[in-house]
Amino acid sequence: MGVIEVNEYSFTYPASEKVVLNHVSISADMGEFLLLCGKSGCGKTTLLRCMKPEIAPVGSAEGTITRLSAEEVGFVFQNPDNQIVTDTVRHELAFGLENIGMPTGQIRARVAETALFFGIDEWIDKSVHEISGGEKQLLNLAAVIAMQPKILILDEPTSQLDPVARKNFLDMLVRVNRELGITVILSEHRLEEILPLADRVLFMKEGRIVYSGNVSEFAAYIFEEHKEYVKALPAAARIAKQAEIHMSLNPVFTFPMTVREGQEFLMKCDRKATDLLAKSIVPNSSGTGSTAKEEDARESLCLDVRDIWFQYAKQTPFVMKGLNLQIHWGQMHMLLGGNGSGKSTLLGILSKRFFADRGKIKLGKDRKMPRTALLPQNSKAMFSRDTVLEELESGGGTDQRLIRQLHLDALLHQHPYDLSGGEQQRLALAMVLREAPELLLLDEPTKGLDPFLKEELAAYLKEFTARGNTILCVTHDVEFAAEYGEVCSLLFEGEVLSTEKAAVFFRNNLFYTTDQNRILTSYLADN
Amino acid sequence: MYTRKHTIFETLHPALLLAYASGAPILAMLTNHPLFLAISFLAAFCVQTFYSGIRETAKNTLFMLPFVLVVALINLFTNQRGMTILFRAGHYAYTCESLCYGIANGMMLLTVLVWFRSFSAILSNEKFLYLFGRHLPATALLLSMILKLFPETRHKIQSIQFAQGGFSNNPKCGIKERLKHSMRQISSLLEWSMEDSIETADSMKARAYGKAERTSYRSYKMTAKDRRMAAFFAIAFLAVCYSIFGGSGRYTYFPVMRMDHGNILELTVSAVIYLGFLFTPLWMELQLQKGGMRTWESSK
């Protein structure tokens, strides 16, 4: 008997033919860690919400779900900001307890305990807008756990967080699961870190649960049945699969999940074959690149940012501290760096929203000022009209080809807010592209996108640069940068510390690199 | 602006802090006895210095000083009462009493303003809300949510301006164009805020909002020390009021300036009590610094 049981549950939204959930059955045991994955729009969010009666969507439903009270089911949403209700960390922790009418003394004790468990006690007196996004999401988790739920449901809780904050959050989630014995049901796109943590994986496709079982066999299942989802698997599993194919090993059933397991897997393989494999997976990783093309580089220079200093207001710390950066025509330039390293500010300066206090931005040899457009991090900030069509027509009409290319033609009469995250981003992209920019500035374009949407976006951006345009993309997403970037720069504390070709950049970096490079690094270095 | 935090005075019950923070300016308003005015002004100045630093206080006080002069001059030129004539102009006589009365009124105004400047330092917003929202948990929650909304909205406005900045920075745009653009930004802000508030509402429902009668996690207990201080405040308040209304503390400016019932002893006692009351935050802090063997007490 599970803590929560979903029995042959089907769901359809009103005024819609589409069956969102189709005879779904799940049973979660006490203390189990369940991972729910699948393509965007496969019904994950609907299923999770149906398990929580207070926020269940309205529509026609069949089948049964164990009915639990609000305290028994905790729910953590995607957006860290929007689910915070009150203005201080302390009050937020107490909010749920106040709602269930707990006496003051008990609330205070419970808040204290929760804060200590989550390590929130150091910033408990802060106001909620002084803390970072990662801390906000931890606070949301803590506020839910304070109510002592039996089961915790999380709907893509880390999709808006940067990699470090994501790992922190997941570590804490594991503690909640292992130490408090709370059942966890989590939906996620990035399986890299989560798969090794889960007890059981549920894979959804078009409203059905098509796989439910063991984590290590899950990889084998995906390789067999859903080739299009392979990208979402951990690098270790993908490398193992490659090894299996190229070295004609015996079929692998239990795939490695973590970097360490991946390394152990390769240790058992033939050394020479592995070297070759590593080189085929990580292409053109030899050579240092830049010096030979010095002359060429000067020709293709688009912008030369020299020694930029910038502060938002007098007497506040400098955000840019003597930043140097060269952007070349036709390249996809990735800019990586931690929170507060000044990535977004740099985009602001390049798009003339801010002006530098010191330094120069020089044009390339062709003395051509690039037409610049910026795609902001949050597409919602761009929308102000009632339909997609109006939005697109507002700035003097958009080219039909572009609309088709970005798959917006079917959505023209919808409200921008009714679109999904990926669709909203494509709309915003279409809006900035109508000015035919030559230099496109992107701020965290992969935030909250699943692997398919990411690939779609990347394909479009590739085509955009192939036409001779330039992209400067700020991102936290190391895997994305490694796969699609041509040049990568590392920004730290308002300075660019290194700029290299993508392959070289990730091979040279020890920690700031992809899991794939971490696993293969010893095989790549030997020449 | 710097505000002194973590004072021993703020450990008192919020009701006492409110009594002090509003009692001091009220008492200042009740009297124009030069001695009481001087005491209150001195205390107001010292307390603000204690909380905000000498530089801030001096700057504020100097800034307001001209108002005292203006009040004094207006009184001098409009009020003909009084015996001691300073000078004459035409049919009118300008008296020393009238000038002094004006200065006294101006000082009273200044003192009250200085007191109110320290008000939020003495009684934080949170405690203010606690005092008035304790019996209305829904109101307290509403206020807390509104306080969260301000910085959030500011952030949204910045994001919208940043995102749409590319279109608006065009200097070719006329005023009409720009106005239209601003309207668009406001509409963006409204839509975005409403969209986000749906999620907030879900989050509230998910955490059992509306399931039971709300309670509050904040609590300040009235301790024995609080009660003793409350008694002291009450006695001080009554004593000063008695003195002001009952006799020794009355002062008349017209026709000649004099104290009404010149009982010097009574006046001195009430002045000392007044000083003791107004300087509470300071002497409590000093007492703390002396350290305390006083903490140790044999049980009775």
- Residues of chain A positioned with their CB less than 8 A from the CB of B163: 374, 376, 378, 381-382
**A129 token code pair:** 């807008």
- DSSP category for residue A249: P
Give B196's contacts in chain A (Cβ within 8 Å).
79, 81-82
- Band the pLDDT of A287: cuts 50, 70, 90: very low
Q: What is the dihedral of CA A239, A244, A247, A249, to 10 degrees?
A: 140
Looking at per-residue pLDDT, the higher value among B218 and B163 belongs to: B163
CA distance A191 to chain B (A): 25
- Secondary structure (H, E, C), B236-269: HHHHHHHHHHHCCCCEECCCCCEECCCCHHHHHH
b/e sequence A38-64, b meaning 16+ C-beta within 10 Å: bbbbbbbbbbbbbbbebbeeeeebeee
Q: Do A97 and B148 touch (CB under 8 A)?
A: no
Query: Which residues in A lie closer than 8 A to residue B197 (C-beta atoms)?
Result: 82
In B76-135, the residues whose Cβ lies within 8 Å of chain A are 126
Q: Given pLDDT bands bounded at 50, 70 and 90, which one contains residue A144?
A: very high
Backbone phi, then psi, for A90, in 5-degree steps?
-60, -45
Nearest to A328 by CA among A289, A366, A373: A366
pLDDT surpasses 60 at A285: no
Nearest-Cα residue of chain B relative to residue A345:
B162
Per the structure block, which two tokens stand in for A221? 């299942």
Q: Is B6 on the interface with A (CB under 8 A)?
A: no
Closest chain A C-alpha to B298 CA, distance in angstroms: 29
Given CB atoms, is B145 within the 8 Å cutoff of chain A? yes
Within A226-317, where are the H helices? Answer: 235-246, 259-267, 271-281, 294-299
Give the pLDDT score at A385: 87
CB A88 within 8 A of CB A125: yes
| Nearest residue, CB atoms, B151 vs list A129, A383, A435 | A129
Task: Specify the range with the lowest mean pLDDT, choosing from A233-237, B162-166, B268-272.
Answer: B162-166
The one-letter amino acid code at B71 reads V
Would you call B219 and A88 a contact, using CB atoms and an 8 Å cutoff? no
What's the alpha-carbon Rg for chain B, to the nearest Å?
A: 27
Separation CA A311–CA A180 (nearest Å): 46
Separation between Cα atoms, residue B89 and residue B163, nearest integer Å: 67
Closest-approach residue (CA) in chain B for A443:
B163
Q: What pLDDT score was predicted for residue A289?
A: 47
- Lowest-confidence range among A12-16, A310-314, A395-399, A504-508? A395-399
Q: Report which of A215, A216, A280, A214 is spatially closest to residue A243, judged by C-alpha positions.
A: A280
User: Which residue in chain B is spatially nearest to A432 when comparing CA positions?
Assistant: B166
Please count the residue pairs, one from chain A and one from chain B, whose beta carbons lie less than 8 angstroms apart.
Answer: 154
Q: List CB contacts (< 8 A) between B188 and chain A.
A: 380-384
Is the Cβ–Cβ distance between A262 and A235 less than 8 Å?
A: yes
More confident residue, B171 or A278: A278
For the ranges A88-92, A143-147, B213-217, B268-272, the one whose mean pLDDT is highest? A143-147
Query: What mean pLDDT do residues A273-283 have?
Result: 78
CA pair distance B156, A260, nearest whole angstrom = 43
For the record, the structure tokens of B283 come out as 């002497």
Query: Taking CB atoms and an 8 Å cutoff, what residues of chain A touch B167?
Result: 395
Instruction: Please report which confidence band the pLDDT of residue A296 belongs to, taking 50, 70 and 90 as the band edges.
Output: low
Predicted confidence at residue B103, as pLDDT, reads 92
Q: How far is A524 from chain B (nearest CA, A)?
A: 42
- Phi–psi pair at B257, nearest 5 degrees: -80, 125
Question: Min CA distance, A431 vs chain B (Å)?
Answer: 10
Residues B99/B252, Cβ–Cβ less than 8 Å: no
Residue with tokens 């996809």: A332
Encode burial over B27-48: b for 16+ CB neighbours within 10 A, e otherwise: bbebbbbbbbbebbbebbbbbb
Which residue in chain B is spatially nearest to A73 when comparing CA positions? B206
Task: Give me the sign of the Cα torsion angle A385, A388, A391, A396.
Answer: negative
Could you give the count of Cα atoms lying within 13 Å of A189 in the half-sphere of its Cβ?
21
Cβ contact A323:A346 at 8 Å: yes
Distance from CA of B208 to the nearest CA of A (A): 5
A223/A397 Cα distance (integer angstroms): 44
Nearest CA-CA partner of B134 in B11, B7, B13: B13
Pick among A384, A386, A427, A440 to test the B interface (most B CBs inside 10 A): A384
| Rg of chain A on CA atoms, in Å | 25
Distance from A382 to chain B by nearest Cα, in Å? 6
Grouping H, G, I as helix, E, B as strand and the rest as coil, residue A376 is: coil
- The mean pLDDT value for A395-409 works out to 78
For residue range A491-514, what is the model confidence (pLDDT) as tens digits? 988 899 989 888 888 888 877 888
Q: What is the pLDDT of residues B86-136, one digit of tens each?
A: 888 888 888 888 999 999 999 999 999 999 989 888 988 778 877 876 666
Question: For the residues B151-173, what does the mean pLDDT come to?
Answer: 77
- Selected residue of A50, A51, A83 to mutate for chain B interface (largest B Cβ count, 10 A): A83
Q: At what angle do helices B224-246 and B264-278 cross, to 10 degrees?
A: 140
CA B46 to chain centroid:
14
Cα(first)–Cα(last) distance of chain B, in Å? Answer: 47
Asked if B229 and B12 touch (Cβ cutoff 8 Å), the reply is yes
* Mean pLDDT, rounded, for A282-290: 54
Which pLDDT score, from 0 to 100, does residue A526 have? 54
Report CB contact under 8 Å: B188, A374.
no
Lowest mean pLDDT, pick from A98-112, B59-73, B127-141 = B127-141
Find all residues with CB under 8 Å of A58, minimum gap 6, and list them.
Answer: A13, A14
Searching chain A, which residue's CA lies closest to the CA of residue B165? A353
Most confident of A175-184, A445-454, B75-84: A175-184
Environment class of residue B4 by beta-carbon count within 10 Å: exposed (0-12), middle (13-18) or buried (19+)? middle
**The token pair that represents B40 in the structure block:** 């209150």
Per the CB < 8 Å rule, is B219 touching A108? yes
φ, ψ of residue A14 to 5 degrees: the values are -60, 150
Q: N- to C-terminal Cα distance for chain A?
A: 58
Select, from the ranges A116-120, A403-407, A523-527, B78-82, the one with the highest average predicted confidence (pLDDT). A116-120
Identify the closest residue of chain A to B195 by CA–CA distance: A417
The pair of three-digit structure tokens given for residue A258, joined into one six-digit string: 């973590």
pLDDT band, residue B290 (cuts 50/70/90): low
What is the rounded CA–CA span in Å between residue A381 and residue A22?
Answer: 35
pLDDT given at position B69: 92
Which of B195, B197, B203, B219 is the mutation pick for testing A, counting most A CBs within 10 A?
B203
Q: What pLDDT is recorded for position A408?
A: 84
Q: Rounded mean pLDDT of A355-367?
A: 86
Nearest-CA distance B5 → chain A (Å): 13
Q: Do residues A206 and A22 make contact, with C-beta atoms less than 8 angstroms apart?
A: yes
**Among chain A residues, CA nearest to B208:** A70
Strands (E), B14-107: 85-89, 92-95
pLDDT at position A88: 87
CA-based nearest residue to A96, from B148, B204, B147 = B204
Considering only CB atoms, which chain A residues are within 8 Å of B135? none
Sequence-ordered alpha helix ranges (H) in A304-410: 343-350, 388-393, 400-405
Contact A72, B211 (CB under 8 A): no
Contacts of B243 (CB under 8 A, 6+ apart): B249, B266, B267, B270
A291 confidence band (pLDDT: 50, 70, 90): very low
Give the position of tokens 């990783």.
Answer: A285
Average confidence (pLDDT) over A125-129: 88
Q: Which residue has the tokens 């300087």?
A: B279
Q: Is the pLDDT of residue B18 over 50?
A: yes
Contact: B162, A381; criterion CB under 8 Å = yes
* pLDDT of B80 strictly over 50: yes
Q: Are A516 and A239 a contacting pair, CB within 8 Å? A: yes
Q: How distant is the Cα of A379 from the closest Cα of chain B, in angstroms?
A: 8
Q: Which of B54, B56, B59, B104 is nearest to B79 (CA)?
A: B104
Residue of A99, A137, A394 to mutate for B, most B C-beta atoms under 10 A: A99
Mean pLDDT of chain A: 87
- Residues A374 and A444: their CA atoms lie apart, in Å, by 11
Tokens, residue B119: 């008000």
Query: According to the model, what pLDDT value does residue A294 have?
Result: 56
Round the average pLDDT of chain B to a whole number and report it.
85
Q: Among partner residues A52, A101, A383, which is closest to B191 by beta-carbon distance?
A: A383
* Helix, strand, coil in percent for chain B, rounding step 5: 70, 5, 25
The residues, ordered by sequence, that sit 6+ positions from B227 with a Cβ below 8 Å of its Cβ are: none
Q: What is the mean pLDDT of residues A187-196?
A: 87
**Is B206 within 8 Å of A417 when comparing Cβ atoms?**
no
CB contact under 8 A, A351 and B203: no
The continuous run of DSSP H or E covering A459 comes out as helix A451-466
Most confident of A198-202, A220-224, A234-238, B29-33: A198-202
- Output the six-digit token pair for B75: 């009184």
SS3 B86: strand
Contact A103 B192 (CB under 8 A): no
**Residue B186 CB neighbour total at 10 angstroms:** 13
| CA of B15 vs chain A CAs: smallest distance (Å) | 19
ipTM of the complex: 0.85
